[in-house]
A = this chain, B = another copy of it.
Amino acid sequence: MKSIIVKPPKAGVEMVDLDLKEKLSAKYILVKTIENGICGTDRGIANGNLSFARVPSGYDYLILGHETLGMVIEVGDEVKGIKKGDLVVPIVRRGCNNCLNCLAGRQDYCETGQFSEIGIRGLHGTMREFFIDEEKNLVVLPKSLKEIGVLLEPLSNIVKTFEAVGLIQKRMIWNCQDSSFECRNAGIIGSGPIGLLFALLSRSKGFNVYVMNKREPSSLEEQICNAIEAKFINMTKDEIPNFDLLIDTSGYPSAFIPLIDKINKNGLLVLFGTTSKDSHPLDTNLVNHIVESNITILGSVNASKNNFIEGVNLLSAWNNSYPELLKKLITNKVKAEDAIPYILNKPKGEIKTVIIW
């Protein structure tokens, strides 16, 4: 079985031929990988920049891959809800089996840090021809989502974030006078796949949406923003409005700290992006603004199965409301045997690159 492996903490990624070694219990589900998405985490591991990447116990390599779309080709005797031919996506993080959040299936809120993640921390990923998993870790998608289902994993993280946003903003009355969110502005720093999925979900919730970057939009970004009635803002020259919800997908303090004074009373800043080697001063004017305006800042990572399930409904809804749009987020499709360069470096103009198996 062709597999794409890494050997963290060393840089480098290669395709090798491996046997499928997982054991086949009555609970097994054998999945043929259809597609993998490539994201910043994959590239960080492949380039040896992410210290948290680790091989599974007993191995000297890690099969990469955590953004997945697969098709079930065989199921064990005890499997009930999933059947041959189903389109499935595996969740990424697997719980510590110890803290209350992991016991309740909310390993995205694991307290011990003893969780694993497929393709990232201690468990083999899905950049290979086949993989085996259990029912509790797989989410089924309708067949109509075959072309965009690989986007479910990144979307699930956005769903989890909005789950927290929705709860936090119950601090007060945040809805508009007609009970909608049509009077609220959401601004998103960054126009990559995460930024655009945040834009889509914010629009679905009714917000006026602004997608921001430090340049003019590409023609594809313009197309996407137009389709969902979002506005693209060139942060270097356009006027920036005030926001009720500001979402940073860049990870750069120098990008989001200067915008804190654009956040309205009772507003919320989401920190979703991570990166390295940036720093920006936070001064008392901004601290006073945060305090006096009841502003909340939310860090959010990962997602649990219920977020994937809600993500399926969202992909379905958008596939109906914006036909053909989500496919445009997948700018590059490469065959597995040609994937290595794409894993090492981001191609120009990419929104999402997908590996086809």
Footprint of B on A, CB under 8 Å? 81, 100-101, 103-106, 108-111, 113, 136-137, 142, 144-145, 163-164, 167-168, 170-173, 175-182, 204, 206, 251-253, 257, 264-266, 271-284, 287-301, 304-306, 309, 313-314, 316-323
Closest to A139 in B: B180
* Minimal beta-carbon separation of A164 from chain B (angstroms): 5
Could you tell me if B111 and A305 are in contact, using CB atoms closer than 8 angstroms?
no
Flag if B171 contacts A173 (CB, 8 Å).
no
Q: A168-B168, A279-B284 are in contact. List 17 more A-B contacts (CB 8 A).
A: A81-B182, A100-B173, A105-B180, A106-B172, A136-B177, A144-B320, A144-B323, A145-B320, A164-B296, A167-B167, A167-B171, A179-B306, A206-B309, A271-B291, A274-B291, A276-B284, A296-B298
Q: What is the distance, in angstroms, from A266's C-beta to the closest C-beta of chain B?
A: 5
A136 touching B178, Cβ below 8 Å: yes
- Please report the C-alpha to C-alpha distance between residue A318 and residue B179 in the assembled complex, in whole angstroms: 24
Closest 7 CB pairs of A and B: A105-B179, A290-B299, A109-B172, A316-B317, A279-B283, A297-B297, A317-B317
Cβ-defined contact, A287 with B175, below 8 A: no
Stoichiometry, as copies per complex, reads 4
A251 touching B300, Cβ below 8 Å: no
A280 to chain B, nearest CB (A): 6
Min Cβ gap A348→B in Å is 25
Contacts of A182 in B (CB 8 A): 81
**Residues of B contacting A180 in the complex (Cβ-Cβ under 8 angstroms):** 105, 305-306, 309
- Cα-based distance from A74 to B266 in the complex (angstroms): 37
Which of B206, B294, B323 lies in contact with A109, CB distance below 8 A?
B294
A357 to B101 CA separation, bound complex (whole angstroms): 43
**Pair B284/A104 contact, Cβ less than 8 Å:** no
